[in-house]
Amino acid sequence: MKNRDRIIRYYQGTDNGELAARLIDLADSTAKGRPYAVSEFVSPGAVQIGETIQAHVPSLVLKTFGGYEGAERVKLAFVSADYDGPVDFGIIACRLSWDDRYRLLGHRDVLGSLMSLGVGRERFGDIIMQDAGAVLLADTKLVPYLQQNFTKIAMVSIAIEEMPLWDIAPRQEKVKEIKTTVASLRLDA
């Protein structure tokens, strides 16, 4: 890619230079003959980096997938424009369940337990909290490790079972309507 250094310099200002370099390498591997290349899980801001790279390489198409509709953390795939087959993002859903009468566990508890196992944030996606458990979207290669080592969250024993991705409900956007009276409709007031 001829604009590689320019793109990396631009995103180094936002501390995303290293991520931009990794995504450019993925795009280059697809441009050199692979049908597609998939990144690790990335934050929502990284999608913009992928779109910038795709704009400089017209022979590629950028696809994103996080396991369900409306996912916050997603994987990016640079796909060759002439490839029309399926893209394997390597995402699996795991249902985490525990006995909630002992303790109410939250998103922070689940995330903290995963991080304490030494699992990098790029290896798993969204954590969707439910009544007596949670759904964890993870890289398929991570699941055997989780099943063997992820046994407790904050001293509460948990059970892990795989589940199909289509069982995850789409994300509901929470909207809060605020009614107020303003002195003027001008923005500087």
For 44-89, how does the pLDDT look when each residue is reduced to its tens digit (9 = 90+)?
888 998 898 888 888 899 999 999 988 999 999 999 988 888 999 9
3 state SS of 6: helix
Confidence at 103, pLDDT banded by 50, 70, 90? low
Q: Which residue has the higher pLDDT, 182 or 144?
A: 144
Q: Give the list of residues 6+ apart from residue 105 with CB closer than 8 angstroms, or none.
A: 98, 134, 153, 154, 156
- Burial state string for 112-141 with b = 16 or more CB within 10 A and e = fewer than 16: ebbeeeebeebbbbbbbeeeebbbbbbbee
Residue range 107-156, pLDDT digits in tens = 999 999 999 999 999 999 999 988 778 999 999 999 999 999 999 988 88
Confidence of residue 189 (pLDDT cuts 50, 70, 90): low
**185, pLDDT greater than 90:** no
Count Cβ atoms within 10 A of the Cβ of residue 78 and give its class: 0-12 exposed, 13-18 middle, 19 or more buried: buried
Provide CATH code, domain 4-80: 3.30.1370.160
Determine the Cα–Cα distance for residues 111 and 170; give it in Å rounded to an integer: 21
Q: Is the pTM of this model over 0.85?
A: no
CATH number 3.20.20.60 given to 91-164? no
Tell me what pLDDT residue 1 has. Answer: 62
Per-domain residue ranges for the chain? 4-80, 91-164
